Chain A
């Protein structure tokens, strides 16, 4: 509304009429519009319906701004995800394609809404020319109630139809008006005070400095040690593999010799960790040192006779000497012996290539050294189905899924590839094995079969042995081994 400010006299720039109720205002607006005034406005404490028509206010173009920005937002969302995940930094995760539209919808949606909402907010402010802190109307004391309970109609003096007296007369003639007020121009100067101007410039310059520092830091290197205000996992008391624990930033190494852990003292058993060796190995020990032999000592009595098999590479690591033994529960040293899984069991099977000199068989336990109940067999069946059946098949015939798949692959893809099927547990060779030997095989594996000693607790391994025996019984059993009562039942079922 304010035009030029060339004189010191406050200049009238508009005329204001006040009403106590909105209906009177609406009628007045209608009249003003019909009289041909265009530079009009009404001021009300709340939005009045019908005033757009009464004043002839055109529908706003805000929705179009919002629609445009919304579409831009959605496009940005799509492109952002495409470029970053499929172009700049392509990687596959959870088997999803690099550019997976369904997974991109949520972010597209959110960005559409975000852009639209900004369009609504800033568009509305922009169209309303807000913020505008200085307004001549604020100098009118009565106008303070325009945000409370009074209703105003204003006409700008620059309106073509404006005639000082006539317009005022018309205003005074409105039904329900409670006062006609002249509005004068704001006498304060339009220019910014110099101080504010300079402060603004200083602030603007100051605002550039941090980004500049950041920029230069990003593009330079420094030899100074990193500052660690928060530890950030940089400094840790630990020894990585293949390294020694050393002094670091004033912290001592874990042990003076650079180790992070002490070895176990040979020949000791930790309190509460002793278990009957028979249960752990399936071998009845022959010497007196029953309790010691199961430890993963660094310098063990290597020549202990009950070792079943000599590792082919027994020479390369002294610690790897005792595959037959089972470590108590979950003692750690076992993990250090990679040689365990493979060698083993120089039985006269055809698989083992560099046949070592035949060894005397250890003294296998003949029968399962735990109490066998139907629960045991059920447990064994359960474990067998989980761990063994994938290769040996549910019935133990060596036709598990792995084997079948292997043959399928040979048929279809790589004819000529060799595949040695898993052992059929119903062969005489297996049937005749003592229980302890089967247990040993489960524990340490044989040929291609890996050892399950570290996955299945000993009791469960014995349970599997009982189940394997039960499976074998299904082929070798004779009718007279069935108890009479059961036999009756079966006969009744007609089998």
Chain B
């Protein structure tokens, strides 16, 4: 079925009537077709081109990792006093992006935001790929990658010692690996019914076997659905605090220390807000073009985009609030090094990074106060790119400015990233987009079952009257 142009302006509010979440007069079958078409139709040439580009960048990434492993971490710019350079910046950046998907599926689910159904699958996939990118950096920065397992509490005959559980870096290992695991199974659980749909539709025998195995023999039995829905609710209830905990623990990496500019109690919620902000920024960056390319205007309506913009505005403002609190307390606390750290951030040698951060993170989302900006796809795409840039710089500013100018003026120094640093930053995008393009090609990018359950009823039921009687009345508590 061809894309129906937006006949309804879904962004107009009519209190008392909820805007339909799917437009274009779809029924259940046409939703299935609309989504499966992406996997079943001939792959557009644009996909091959993008894939080739992404895969080459990924190749470069792997080559650089090989070079790093063979040569040692000296190929990076990390050095005294900035021991934590690009690797941690990239790590925190990607983990932050990896917050949107699970947040959409868990927290928006808990808040009964049904519009999430159109974008959650997509965002969850993005989450997982972002976490993959994130996980690589701490893994390779340890230098001797082959002893990575020392981080885990495995009884080891050679070491006869155990990890230090009082270290926030070890909490990170647990938090990120738990988050990755739970996100994957949450995502996969959500996909089982859709994979069954693909299984039942495909003619390709190989794909059929693959989809059959992946969908585990799902039939859509009501008894299974009952447990499935309970499981989904439980997942949401577990993933919501988990998603908060991950960036909280990432913020502990910095905040438990005493480095000026790092030790601030607002770091946990501030990092979480920033993570959600960057995650939604990336959702928008990917969603606007994908919606256009695959003609998903009926499922991902303008209202959906507008909602994402509003979340960006809210979380961007929360980040702004945190910046303001940090500055106020840096003065109010009366600690001179702390005060210096913040003045140095804004006016020191890295002032440019600071102003990129503030203008991208705090100022650019303020455009979303205007409805015009919330409903113009190209504009929100541009702003979302700014958000991505700004959030990368936020991590850069926090990591580098504080280390470059800490307590002892004698140990001050600048950070000089190397070509390998830049190459790895770019290369991680290659990994991200390669995985993402593969998913778009072979996976169900919209949660069909969930969309079907919240879309306007497409049918006139022959039993309408009887049904009404069978309805259990809502009884007062």
Interface residues of chain A, those whose CB is within 8 Å of chain B, are 20-24, 26-27, 29-30, 41-48, 51-55, 57, 59-60, 62-63, 66, 80-81, 84-85, 88-89, 91, 93-94, 96, 100, 103-104, 106-107, 109-111, 113-114, 116-118, 120-121, 123-125, 127-128, 130-135, 137-138, 143-149, 175-176, 218, 230, 232
Contacts and interface: CB of A to CB of B under 8 A. Distances in A.
Given A107-B174, A109-B241, 7 more contacts: A21-B461, A46-B452, A93-B164, A109-B245, A114-B182, A128-B224, A148-B200
B161 interface: yes
Contacts of B227: 60, 62, 124, 127-128
B230 A147 contact: no
Contacts of B157: 218
Nearest to A29: B222
A125 B449 contact: no
Contact of B222 (A55, A59, A120, A123): A55
Given A44-B225, A80-B153, A93-B166, A130 B463 contact: no
Interface stretch (B122-130, B370-378, B466-474): B466-474
Given A62-B230, A63-B230, A176-B463, A45 B170 contact: no
A144 B467 CA distance: 27
Interface string B25-64: 0011100100000000000000000000000000000000
B231 interface: yes
A149 B200 CA distance: 12
B171 interface: yes
Contact of B231 (A106, A124, A144): A124
Given A26-B467, A45-B449, A48-B225, A230 B70 contact: yes
A53 B181 contact: no
Interface in B117-157: 144, 146, 153, 157
Which secondary structure dominates chain B's binding surface? helix
Contacts of B220: 43-45, 146-147
Interface stretch (B211-219, B306-314, B396-404): B211-219
Interface string B176-213: 00100110011001000100110111000000000011
B17 interface: no
Contacts of B472: 53
B467 A27 contact: yes
B217 A134 contact: yes
B464 interface: yes
Contact of A26 (B196, B241, B470): B470
A24 B461 contact: yes
B200 A147 contact: yes
A21 B222 contact: no
Contact of B171 (A66, A93, A106, A134): A106
B299 to A, nearest CB: 14
Interface in B56-104: 69-70
Contacts of B153: 80, 84
13 contacts: A21-B461, A45-B197, A54-B470, A55-B222, A84-B153, A110-B249, A125-B216, A132-B217, A133-B212, A143-B219, A145-B200, A230-B144, A230-B146
B223 interface: yes
A43 B238 contact: no
Contacts of B226: 47, 51-52, 57, 59-60
B72 to A, nearest CB: 8
Contacts of A91: 164
Nearest to A128: B224
What band does the interface of chain B fall in when counting residues whose beta carbon is under 8 Å from A? 35 or more
B28 A43 contact: no
Given A43-B221, A114-B178, A84 B162 contact: yes
A60 B230 contact: yes
A43 B450 contact: no
A146 B449 contact: no
B228 to A, nearest CB: 6
B222 A147 contact: no
A106 B249 contact: yes
B235 interface: yes
A127 B181 CA distance: 21
B449 A149 contact: no
Given A124-B231, A128-B227, A146 B166 contact: no
A113 B178 CA distance: 8
B188 to A, nearest CB: 8
Contacts of A27: 463, 466-467, 470
B453 interface: yes
B241 A45 contact: no
Contacts of A30: 470
Given A128-B224, A133-B213, A45 B245 contact: no
Nearest to B225: A47
Contact of A85 (B164, B212, B462): B164
B445 interface: no
B69 A48 contact: no
B212 to A, nearest CB: 6
A52 B238 contact: no
A20 B213 contact: no
Nearest to B459: A21
A192 to B, nearest CB: 17
Contacts of A63: 230, 234
B229 interface: yes
B410 to A, nearest CB: 10
Those 6 A-B pairs whose CB atoms lie nearest each other, nearest first:
A149-B28, A131-B216, A84-B162, A23-B461, A124-B231, A42-B222
A110 B178 contact: yes
Nearest to A81: B165
A46 B453 contact: yes
A123 B193 CA distance: 17
A57 B166 contact: no
